[in-house]
């Protein structure tokens, strides 16, 4: 069975190295491991693993060729660290493998030609972390034409195919799944048969599911979910995401749309032929993330690559095919450079664009995102400049107002002295009335030239101008609370 190069692990994926909670999180029995190969196990894991290995040796069980300690450890995670349950789950799995594929998964291929192209279960795309995406269209499961055993063989073949050809031990060890219910009611779905299929999948491919998006969910899904949950471990239940939409929004936080079919919210054409697997060309990474390492495991997994090919692969694993693509690449780099040069406070940008380290494949989707971010940055910069100018103008107005008030006080003192001097001559003028007259003149000036303020309204700080009902009140000088339950602060 020939495997296309586009299906195999992408060249850049050999530089992706999980770290921190991408490897494991929690402690002891509450610990959950995501990467099993090429890493050190914790003392708690080692202790339990040695006990299980001793039981296996004592029972005289012969493990399959190529079996690793990490495979044994997975059965502890699927059984809540119960030694007897882990031992039974492991022995049941070994018997299952002998029954389903005694001669390896490739031996199953000849009997699956029709089912592989039925569209009930197929592989399409990868997410940002290079995990393959498995599509399970439950509406296309036909248990009248095919048996439960036929579908178990199909699932076994496809999942083993991904393990052997699309994952990378120590770096990529899981997959993403879509479960499309097609908005079918419970009476239209073969619930009992599906439970058996899912149980076989769960029992024999442990700790491989990254996340499962259950989409196009009908109204009666709660009942179906209750039926399936008892047959799944607790960790897997937490990985299930249900939505009535056909396009799970959360998916696109860790997957580019060019890797997903249009019917599921992506930009890739909908498939009509489902085998061999379809993996659209990259980019696979997030346009705004850089999580590739300088370490490269490619030649560890491909020791037979000729020496004269190695440097060429490292420098440019996917050479550009035309001068036109080189021009596009140059323009894209120029766009990113402009984004970096715009000096705007980081908190004014909802999303910051960073330079993509992998420029092997030209993507119109990525180009569109960069253009949008450049425009957003320019708009934000203009807004900041305008607000700063208004703020300076408002400060000047406030200063003038303060000086006017001071002038009033000075004139009033002077008037008070003059009033005392002219009182005997019958020319006494009320100091209070003169103050009111001067205040009226200043307030009229303020009305003609409003002062910009920041106002806290319904929890949001907004920029407003003084309104007539507020002119002259103390709030624009002191920050007091006005009659309209809003809080104003002068710049």
Query: Has residue 83 been placed in a domain?
Result: no
DSSP state letter for 288: T
Residue 259 is assigned to a structural domain of this protein: yes
Tens of pLDDT, residues 264-301? 999 999 999 999 999 999 899 887 777 788 899 999 88
**Is residue 461 domain-shared with residue 348, that is, in the same domain?**
no
pLDDT reported for residue 202? 83
- Tell the residue number behind the tokens 């440019």, with chain if given: 316
Is residue 172 within 8 Å of residue 16, measured between CB atoms?
A: yes
Query: Are 343 and 226 within one domain?
Result: no
Total number of domains constituting the chain: 3
Rounded-to-integer distance, Cα 134 and Cα 131, Å? 10
* Same-domain status, 29 and 155: yes
Which letter, b or e, does each residue of 138-169 get, where b requires 16 or more Cβ atoms within 10 Å of its Cβ? beebeeeebebebbbbbbbbbbbbbeeebbbb
Owning domain of residue 345 = 327-381
144 within a domain of the structure (yes/no): yes
Q: 254 and 153 in one domain?
A: yes
Same domain, 347 and 460: no
Distances from the Cα of 294 to the Cα of 15, 319, 324, 386, angstroms: 7, 20, 29, 44
| Long-range own/partner contacts, residues 411-418 (CB < 8 A, 24 or more apart) | 411/438
What pLDDT digit, counting tens, does each position of 31-73 carry? 889 999 999 999 999 999 999 999 999 999 999 988 999 999 9
DSSP per residue over 171-210, as a string? TB--EEEEEE-TT--GGGS-HHHHHHHHHHHHHHSTT-EE
Same domain (yes/no): 114, 202? yes
Is there a single domain that holds both residue 143 and residue 249?
A: yes
**Domain contains 3:** no
For residue 163, what is the domain's CATH number? Answer: 3.40.525.10
Question: Does 145 map to a domain?
Answer: yes
As a dihedral over the C-alpha atoms of residue 222, residue 228, residue 233, residue 237, rounded to 10 degrees, the angle is -30
CB 209 within 8 A of CB 242: no
Residue 72 has a pLDDT of 95
412 and 435 co-located in one domain: yes
210/453 Cα distance (integer angstroms): 50
Angle between helices 364-422 and 431-448 (to 10 degrees): 160
Residues of the chain where predicted confidence (pLDDT) is lower than 70 = 186, 222, 224, 233-236, 307-388, 390-391, 394-491
């Amino acid at each position: 069975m020939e495997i296309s190069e586009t299906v195999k692990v992408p060249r850049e994926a050999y530089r992706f190295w999980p770290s921190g909670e991408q490897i494991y999180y929690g402690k002891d029995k509450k610990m959950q491991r995501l990467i099993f190969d090429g890493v050190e196990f914790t003392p708690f894991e080692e202790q339990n693993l040695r006990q299980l290995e001793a039981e296996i040796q004592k029972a005289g069980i012969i493990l399959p060729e190529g079996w690793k300690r990490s495979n044994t450890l997975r059965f502890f995670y699927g059984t809540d660290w119960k030694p007897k349950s882990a031992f039974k789950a492991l022995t049941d799995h070994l018997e299952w493998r002998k029954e389903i594929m005694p001669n390896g998964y490739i031996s199953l291929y000849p009997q699956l030609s029709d089912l592989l192209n039925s569209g009930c279960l197929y592989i399409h795309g990868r997410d940002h972390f290079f995990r393959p995406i498995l599509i399970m269209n439950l509406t296309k499961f036909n248990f009248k034409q095919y048996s439960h055993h036929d579908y178990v063989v199909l699932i076994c073949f496809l999942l083993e195919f991904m393990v052997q050809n699309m994952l990378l031990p120590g770096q990529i060890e899981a997959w993403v799944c879509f479960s499309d219910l097609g908005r079918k009611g419970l009476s239209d779905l073969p619930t009992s048969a599906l439970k058996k299929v899912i149980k076989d999948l769960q029992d024999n491919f442990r700790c491989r599911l990254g996340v499962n998006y259950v989409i196009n969910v009908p109204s009666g899904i709660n009942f179906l979910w209750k039926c399936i949950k008892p047959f799944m471990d607790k960790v897997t239940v937490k990985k299930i995401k249900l939505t009535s939409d056909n396009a799970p929004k959360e998916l696109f936080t860790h997957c580019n749309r060019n890797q997903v079919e249009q019917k599921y919210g992506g930009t890739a054409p909908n498939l009509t032929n489902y085998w061999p697997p379809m993996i659209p060309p990259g980019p696979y990474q997030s346009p705004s993330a850089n999580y590739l390492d300088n370490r490269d495991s490619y030649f560890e997994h491909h020791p037979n690559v000729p020496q004269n090919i190695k440097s060429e692969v490292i420098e440019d694993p996917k050479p550009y095919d035309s001068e036109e693509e080189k021009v596009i690449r140059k323009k894209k780099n120029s766009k990113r450079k402009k984004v970096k040069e715009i000096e705007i406070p980081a908190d004014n940008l909802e999303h910051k664009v960073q330079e993509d380290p992998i420029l092997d494949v030209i993507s119109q989707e990525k180009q569109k995102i960069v253009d949008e971010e450049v425009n957003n940055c320019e708009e934000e910069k203009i807004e900041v400049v305008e607000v700063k100018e208004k703020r300076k103008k408002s400060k000047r107005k406030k200063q003038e107002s303060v000086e006017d008030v001071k002038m009033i006080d000075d004139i009033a003192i002077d008037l008070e002295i003059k009033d005392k001097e002219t009182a005997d001559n019958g020319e006494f003028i009320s100091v209070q009335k003169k103050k009111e007259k001067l205040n009226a003149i200043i307030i009229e000036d303020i009305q003609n030239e409003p002062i910009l303020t920041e106002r806290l309204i319904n929890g949001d700080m907004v920029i407003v101008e003084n309104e007539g009902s507020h002119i002259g009140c103390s709030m624009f000088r002191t920050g007091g609370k006005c009659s309209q339950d809003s809080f104003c602060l002068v710049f």
